[in-house]
Homo-oligomer: A and B are copies of this chain.
Amino acid sequence: MALHFTAPEFARRKQRLLAELAARKLDGLLMFQQESMYWLTGYDTFGFCFFQSLWLGADGRMALLTRSADLRQAQHTSLIEDIRIWTDRADATPQEQLRAMVADLGGAGGRIGVEYESYGLTAASGKKLDAAFDGFATLEDASRLVDHLRVVKSPAEILYVRQAGKLALAARDAAIAAIAPGIDEGEVLAAMQGAVFKGGGDYPANEFIIGSGTDALLCRYKSGRRVLESEDQITLEWAGTYRHYHAAMMETVVVGPPRDRHLELFAAAKQAMEACAHALVPGKTAGDVFAAHAHVMDGHGLSSHRLAACGYSLGAKFTPSWMDPPMFYADNPWVLEAGMVMFAHMILMDSETDTAMCLGRTFLIGVNANECLTDAPLDLIVN
């Protein structure tokens, strides 16, 4: 048994979710997001790559349907007691087994919420689910229900986020120590990810972003490493991850003397970061934070070099991405609250001069201000 939270903590979460089900007049919820299952029960797996679902009835009863490879995983990592197994065969019908399980737990004829927006429920599986439940119960989209509860972190969760912040800073130190002309990006990546693992941390929910030369202008991971030249730039976006909670950072490190364009872009990125940090307070919206970023960037004449989003919520996330809603994009009305953990990244990519400059920090929103959980100087790093 490897539960990372106490029984009372899990009980509080369940009560919050049951209250939400009652408010929406739902008789139960079929969860397909691994994040929801981990939050509610501790269940920790990448088994969502196959069909599986966690049921919570309005009566508080829970049951999991999964494959045999995840039976012990659920037993060792979660408080789920009722675990049922479906078996791979050419004619396997796990969606019908799920209906039978829900019938068994009193869900027939009910209004059932479904996490349709989930990597754990592909469009193909969703069609089979709808077919299996047709005439048995009314299914209704409830995709963002648990997300809205997860977004505000409890004190117990914040302890893990703080640890993740420390691991992010350890990875940053490892990167800065490793980066030099003639060094392979793979050495930098090994040092950074190694710092997280040695500190008891996890794989991130998406790959660290690492790219140099013209590929410093990318903001996704890609295969294929490169050796740093004597005058170079390397963009890194990474997260310390602890108990799957993420604290992310982003930097573009200049190798050799910075070009003027690096300095210009850095000045704008730093100013935009400070503007965002100012907007990261309760009562402001995610759209307000984006507007603060865009105002600075556009004032510097950089509107064609910035992206259409500048950050997002962080939490206990599974692959393929550590990005959680809400995201900072234009007019997003999601209101910020105390206890939210938000990542702000200022991404400037100038394809005309092949210049990259990025800066990212993670903030914990407090009752009337915020705290940077990945606090490092906002200075241009030149190695």
**Which residues from chain A sit less than 8 Å from chain B, CB to CB?**
2, 4, 32, 44-49, 67-70, 72-73, 76-77, 87-90, 114, 116-119, 121-127, 129, 141, 143, 184, 186-187, 189-190, 193-194, 197-203, 206-208, 214-215, 217-225, 242-244, 307-309, 318-321, 323, 327, 329-333, 349, 351
Q: Which residues of B contact A190 (CB under 8 A)?
A: 193-194, 197-198
Q: Which residues of B contact A141 (CB under 8 A)?
A: 124
Interface centre among A2, A46, A223, by most chain B C-beta atoms within 10 angstroms, is: A223
Asked if B45 contacts A222 (CB within 8 A), the reply is: yes
Asked if A46 contacts B186 (CB within 8 A), the reply is: no
| Cβ contact of A321, chosen from B49, B72, B114, B323, cutoff 8 A | B49
Main secondary structure of the interface of A (DSSP, over half): loop
Q: Which residues of B contact A186 (CB under 8 A)?
A: 197-201
Interface centre among A114, A143, A222, A349, by most chain B C-beta atoms within 10 angstroms, is: A222
Task: Tell me the bound Cα distance from A307 to B87 in angstroms.
Answer: 10
What number of copies of this chain does the assembly contain? Answer: 2
Identify the closest chain B residue to A73 (Cβ). B220
Task: Tell me the bound Cα distance from A204 to B244 in angstroms.
Answer: 17
Asked if B206 contacts A49 (CB within 8 A), the reply is: yes
CB pairs A–B below 8 angstroms (29 shown): A4-B223, A32-B123, A44-B223, A49-B320, A49-B321, A49-B323, A68-B307, A72-B219, A72-B351, A76-B218, A76-B222, A87-B330, A88-B332, A90-B332, A116-B124, A118-B122, A122-B123, A123-B126, A124-B143, A126-B127, A186-B199, A189-B197, A190-B197, A197-B225, A200-B225, A203-B203, A223-B243, A318-B320, A320-B320
Asked if B218 contacts A72 (CB within 8 A), the reply is: yes
Q: Which residues of B contact A197 (CB under 8 A)?
A: 186-187, 189-190, 193, 225
Q: Which residues of B contact A119 (CB under 8 A)?
A: 49, 119, 122, 320
Q: Which residues of B contact A351 (CB under 8 A)?
A: 72
Task: Tell me the bound Cα distance from A44 to B119 in angstroms.
Answer: 19
Min C-beta distance of A248 to chain B, whole Å: 14
Task: Tell me the bound Cα distance from A116 to B214 in angstroms.
Answer: 35
Q: Which residues of B contact A129 (CB under 8 A)?
A: 123
Min C-beta distance of A94 to chain B, whole Å: 12
Asked if A77 contacts B121 (CB within 8 A), the reply is: no
Task: Tell me the bound Cα distance from A116 to B45 in angstroms.
Answer: 23
Q: Which residues of B contact A318 (CB under 8 A)?
A: 320
Task: Tell me the bound Cα distance from A72 to B207 in angstroms.
Answer: 18
Q: Which residues of B contact A333 (CB under 8 A)?
A: 90
Q: Which residues of B contact A207 (CB under 8 A)?
A: 46, 202-203
Interface centre among A70, A118, A198, A318, by most chain B C-beta atoms within 10 angstroms, is: A198
Identify the closest chain B residue to A202 (Cβ). B223
Task: Tell me the bound Cα distance from A327 to B309 in angstroms.
Answer: 39
Task: Tell me the bound Cα distance from A50 to B77 in angstroms.
Answer: 29
Identify the closest chain B residue to A318 (Cβ). B320
Task: Tell me the bound Cα distance from A49 to B87 in angstroms.
Answer: 28
Identify the closest chain B residue to A86 (Cβ). B308
Interface centre among A69, A121, A184, by most chain B C-beta atoms within 10 angstroms, is: A69
Identify the closest chain B residue to A203 (Cβ). B207
Asked if A203 contacts B221 (CB within 8 A), the reply is: yes
